[in-house]
Amino acid sequence: MKALSQRRRHPLAALALLLMALLFTGSLYAAASSANQAQAQTTTASEDEVEEGNKLFVANCASCHGIGATGSDAAPSLVGVGAASVDFQVGTGRMPMQMDGPQAQAKPVQFTDEQVGQLAAYVASLGAGPAIPSEEITDASQGDPAHGGELFRVNCAMCHNAAAAGGALTRGKYAPGLADVSEKHIYEAMVTGPQNMPVFNDANVTPEDKQDIIAFLKTIEEQGSPGGADLGSLGPVSEGLFIWVAGLGVIIAFTVWLTSRSS
C-alpha cells in the first residue's frame, strides 16, 4: 500500500493523467466527426456528375464564389456547405442572384433538376456538409402535425409568423411565407440555415421533429383559412385595422345618408 501511495504521488503522475484525458477526448472527437461526416454524406455522386457540376459552376457561379468555390469579396466560400445548401438555393431560384440586395429572393429556377443535382454533387465533393434529405424523412404524411405545431411555434413563429405567412425583419430582410414550399426545401432550410435563418441541426431538432414540422406546415396549407379572409394572417393588428376602417366607413356612409334624407 505504501509503495502504491508513493507511485500515485510521483511528479509525473499529473502529466500522465492529463495526457490520458487528452487522448480520450481526442478519440471521442474523432469518432463524433467521423459519424457526422458519414451522416452528412448519405449519397454518393459519380465522377461524371461532379465533373459536369464543376463546368456549370465555373460558367454560372465562379464569378462571385471564385474558382474552386473558395469565396471572394462578393460571395462566401461554399466549401463544406453540403449538397443540401446548393439544392435549396439553386432549386428555389435564389441562386444565381438576380440583383444585389439584403437577401436572395426566390424566383423561377434557371436550371433543370439534373443540373441542380450536378451542382450539388460538385459542391459536396469539396467538403463534408448536410446531404439532400431522403424522400422518406420528408414525407409529411408520416409526421405528427400537432407536435410539429408546438415545435414551429417555439422555434420558427417569431420570424415566420404563427400561421407561417412570413414577416419583416431588420434592414430590409424578411422571413418568407412557407406556403407552396416543397417538403424537401423546408427540410434543407432547417439544416442549412439560409439567409437570416439559424441552423437547426439534428442535435437541436431531430430528423423526426423536422418531419413533424413539415407535417404541420402542410396541414395548415391544406386547411386554408376556414374563418374567411385571412387578411395576410398577420393577427389582431391587421384584423383590428380592417374593423376600424370598415366600421368608420360604415358610420360615415350612414351619416351622409341621414343628412341627405333630412335635406
**Within a domain: residue 78?**
yes
**Within a domain: residue 222?**
yes
Q: What is the reported pLDDT for 36? A: 45
**Which CATH number goes with the domain that contains 114?**
1.10.760.10
C-alpha cell at 93: 431560384
**Within a domain: residue 62?**
yes
Among 70, 89, 124, residue at a domain's last position: 124
**Within a domain: residue 5?**
no
Residue 162 sits in the same domain as residue 218: yes
Q: What is the reported pLDDT for 262? A: 64
Counting beta carbons within 10 angstroms of the beta carbon of residue 178, is it exposed (0 to 12), middle (13 to 18) or buried (19 or more)? Answer: buried
**Within a domain: residue 15?**
no
Among 96, 124, 152, residue at a domain's last position: 124
Which residues belong to the annotated binding site for heme c? Answer: 61, 64-65, 156, 159-160
- What average pLDDT values come out for the chain (263 residues) when binned by 10 residues? 53 66 67 45 72 95 93 92 96 90 90 96 94 95 96 94 87 91 96 93 94 96 70 64 82 85 65
With a CB cutoff of 8 Å and minimum separation 6, the contacts of 232 are 165, 238
**Within a domain: residue 28?**
no
**Within a domain: residue 12?**
no
Residue 226 sits in the same domain as residue 153: yes
Q: What is the reported pLDDT for 30? A: 55
Among 64, 89, 124, residue at a domain's last position: 124
Residue 83 sits in the same domain as residue 152: no
Type of residue numbered 178: L
**Within a domain: residue 175?**
yes
Q: What is the reported pLDDT for 33? A: 47
Residue 174 sits in the same domain as residue 116: no
Residue that has been written with the C-alpha cell 435564389 in this structure: 94
Residue 180: which domain range?
Answer: 140-230
Q: What is the reported pLDDT for 131? A: 94
Residue 76 sits in the same domain as residue 119: yes
Q: What is the reported pLDDT for 37? A: 42
Residue 118 sits in the same domain as residue 145: no
Q: Between the CA of residue 133 and those of 50, 83, 103, 240, what are the distances in Å?
A: 19, 10, 24, 42
Report the domain count for the chain.
Answer: 2
Which residues belong to the annotated binding site? Answer: 61, 64-65, 156, 159-160
Residue 146 sits in the same domain as residue 186: yes
The number of angstroms, rounded, from the C-alpha of 156 to the middle of its chain's C-alpha atoms is 10
Q: What is the reported pLDDT for 2? A: 53
Residue 60 sits in the same domain as residue 102: yes
Residue 178 sits in the same domain as residue 118: no
Residue 145 sits in the same domain as residue 102: no
Query: Distance between CA atoms of 119 and 100, rounded to whole angstroms?
Result: 22
The dihedrals phi and psi of 55, each to the nearest 5 degrees, come to -65, -45
Residue 149 sits in the same domain as residue 222: yes
